[in-house]
């Protein structure tokens, strides 16, 4: 339905022929009117020289065209991307006195929460004519790098900080709130310590944590599951928020851990993204590879890798399209790249036009493809599908500020992805096969056991002698209730299918009297009253007692008299 809507809107149909989405994405262009020079101050008409660190589209139905922008000066701006024409200045609101590294829209509400370098997160109401703060959340001791709302609970959000901790907040309360759950040292750095094993020898072993790794990204999978990534440990941790990690004295243990670092020598993850079904996780790592993990099973081996870009800083982010079929990421080579999910590690498109490192990116969740890229050239650009009218006018060529270039299908696999795939192949080949070994005691019993009259599936006219035929033992035969083979198994004359059908029908036609229990010859210890390990005794014999003990046992109290009598 989405490709048809796009084709009709932009006139890209020829009779009954309609172009696929992959072809439409090659029409992405950025016109000079869709290039914006940063966020303007409300008191100054001059453009800002501060870099943009975050951009996110609204998720509410009907408002997917609204995008929120944040820069290193602490300003927030809202932009309507449906406005096409002469670009207008984007005026911002001073939300923090330090850089804003991330922001997140509250589900089904006109609210935004921020992550700032001043160690606070602020919830803003943007439903009114002006942006106004609602609550301030304090508790971190370093810059906050990432925030994310619960997908269904708009009152719950999480924040990850450079101090190595994750805090879960409930926005219902007073102006200054306390974290509901604190995960301290969520991504510890393991160090090697020298341990003295003898008088002369020393060896290096993993010791307790010697440092704290910055939390670069937090992401809710559902209301009770939080996924986080670190800057140095190279692991993805999955946390169960039904546990109270605040009371933990040592390093908290995650519910699951995906050690991506085994595939590369460079650690660190810059951003995390989830597909709409919350089953596939995409981790943009510092080794120029975006890893695709199955978080339905939390398998540590990636199910896909995507490369071709350059990831030289943690400011470079990646995200998915609204339908989860395409992936976009910034790059240090002044371009943005788009991949098709499941089509291999090679990029599908390269967006060319920026003059510096492309950092944060955003993809509109609406039906019409619309992409925003922010770069260190203090420019953010809106990429749209070129209309049919613009495609046939050459005078608009000078007004184009960026174009999408398609990669050749024969493009070789990026070197970074090839190295990861080789490591994954070696890891899978080195894993020993998991076989179920039978204990030797069981094998010994099976070899020495003979079950006569329990072989219903051997034909009566078999060339083997009857005594050998009855001595054959298999577990299925040992548990078979059939007594003989002559009355149940037909001869091999005829079709094999008829033979199997006849054998099955005869088994169904058997009455209860034809069945015999495989334990019919074993003694019934419950009915006999004897233990399986006890010896059979004919009767109890009275022990010889001395005269005093024998006399005391004959004396019984009498209820009718106070004295005693001898029986």
pLDDT digits (tens, 9 = 90+) for 533-558: 555 555 555 666 677 777 777 775 55
Measured distance CA(213)–CA(6) in Å, rounded: 45
Residue 104's DSSP bridge partners are 113
Measured distance CA(300)–CA(236) in Å, rounded: 9
DSSP letter string, 165-191: -EEEEE-SSSSEE--SEEETTSSEEEE
Output the six-digit token pair for 138.
């304090």
| pLDDT above 70: residue 531 | no
Q: What is the pLDDT of residues 333-383, one digit of tens each?
A: 999 999 999 999 999 999 998 999 999 999 998 877 899 999 999 999 999
Measured distance CA(456)–CA(483) in Å, rounded: 7
Which of 70, 155, 79, 71 shows the shortest CA–CA distance to 111?
A: 155
Write down the mean pLDDT value for the chain: 76
Output the six-digit token pair for 370.
């619309």
| pLDDT above 50: residue 559 | no
199 Cβ contact partners less than 8 Å away, ≥ 6 residues apart: none
| Structure confidence at residue 526 (pLDDT) | 59
The reply to whether the predicted model has a pTM over 0.75 is no
Measured distance CA(432)–CA(434) in Å, rounded: 6
Contact between residue 359 and residue 316 where contact means Cβ atoms under 8 Å apart: yes
Region of poorest pLDDT, from 66-70, 89-93, 378-382, 525-529? 525-529
Contact between residue 348 and residue 327 where contact means Cβ atoms under 8 Å apart: no
Q: What is the pLDDT of residues 24-81, one digit of tens each?
A: 888 899 988 899 988 887 766 676 788 999 999 998 888 889 999 999 999 999 999 9
| pLDDT above 60: residue 121 | yes
Q: How crowded is residue 300: how many other Cβ atoms within 10 Å of its Cβ?
A: 17
| Rounded alpha-carbon distances, angstroms, from residue 517 to 71, 525, 531 | 81, 16, 22
Residue 164's DSSP bridge partners are none
For 137, list phi and psi in degrees, rounded to 5.
-115, 115
Measured distance CA(77)–CA(157) in Å, rounded: 21
């Amino acid at each position: 339905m989405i490709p048809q809507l796009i084709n009709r809107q932009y006139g890209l149909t020829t009779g009954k022929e309609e172009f696929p989405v992959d072809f439409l994405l090659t029409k992405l262009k950025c016109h000079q009117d869709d290039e914006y020079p940063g966020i303007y101050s409300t008191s100054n008409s001059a453009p800002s020289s501060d870099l943009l660190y975050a951009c996110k589209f609204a998720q509410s139905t009907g408002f997917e065209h609204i995008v929120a922008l944040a820069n290193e000066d602490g300003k927030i701006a809202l932009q309507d991307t449906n406005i096409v024409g002469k670009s207008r200045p984007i005026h911002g609101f001073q939300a923090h006195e330090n850089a804003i590294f991330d922001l997140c829209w509250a589900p089904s509400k006109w609210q935004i929460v921020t992550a700032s370098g001043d160690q606070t997160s602020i919830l803003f109401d943007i439903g009114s004519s002006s942006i106004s703060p609602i609550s301030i959340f304090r508790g971190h001791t370093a810059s906050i790098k990432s925030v994310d709302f619960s997908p269904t609970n708009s009152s719950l959000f999480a924040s990850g900080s450079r101090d190595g901790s994750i805090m879960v907040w409930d926005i219902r309360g007073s102006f200054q709130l306390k974290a509901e759950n604190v995960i301290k040292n969520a991504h510890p750095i393991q160090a090697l310590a020298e341990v003295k094993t003898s008088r002369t020898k020393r060896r290096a072993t993993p010791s307790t944590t010697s440092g704290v790794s910055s939390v670069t990204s937090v992401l809710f999978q559902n209301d009770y599951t939080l996924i986080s990534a670190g800057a140095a440990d190279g692991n993805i941790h999955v946390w169960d928020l039904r546990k109270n990690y605040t009371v933990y004295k040592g390093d908290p243990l995650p519910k699951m851990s995906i050690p991506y670092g085994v595939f590369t020598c460079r650690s660190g993850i810059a951003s995390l993204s989830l597909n709409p079904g919350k089953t596939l996780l995409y981790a943009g790592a510092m080794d120029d590879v975006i890893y695709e993990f199955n978080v339905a099973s939390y398998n540590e081996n990636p199910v896909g890798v995507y490369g071709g870009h350059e990831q030289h800083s943690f400011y470079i982010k990646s995200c998915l399209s609204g339908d989860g079929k395409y992936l976009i990421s910034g790059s240090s080579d002044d371009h943005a790249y788009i991949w098709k999910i499941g089509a291999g590690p090679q990029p599908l498109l390269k967006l060319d036009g920026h003059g510096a490192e492309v950092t944060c990116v955003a993809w509109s969740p609406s039906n019409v493809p619309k992409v925003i890229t922010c770069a260190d050239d203090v420019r953010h650009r809106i990429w749209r599908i070129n209309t049919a009218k613009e495609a046939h006018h050459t005078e608009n060529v000078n007004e184009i500020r960026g174009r999408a270039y398609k990669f050749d299908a024969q493009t070789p696999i990026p070197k970074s992805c090839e190295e990861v795939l080789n490591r994954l192949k070696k890891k899978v080949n080195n894993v020993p096969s998991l076989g179920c070994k039978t204990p030797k005691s069981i094998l010994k019993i099976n070899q020495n056991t003979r079950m006569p009259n329990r072989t219903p599936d051997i034909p009566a006219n078999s060339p083997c002698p009857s005594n050998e035929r009855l001595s054959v033992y298999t577990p299925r035969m040992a548990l078979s209730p059939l007594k003989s083979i002559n009355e149940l198994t037909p001869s091999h004359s005829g079709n094999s299918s008829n033979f199997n059908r006849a054998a099955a029908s005869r088994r169904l036609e058997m009455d209860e009297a034809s069945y015999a229990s495989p334990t019919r010859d074993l003694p019934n210890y419950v009915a006999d009253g004897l233990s399986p390990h006890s010896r059979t005794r004919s009767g109890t014999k009275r022990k010889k007692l001395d005269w005093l003990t024998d006399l005391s046992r004959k004396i019984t109290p009498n209820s009718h008299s106070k004295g005693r009598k001898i029986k």
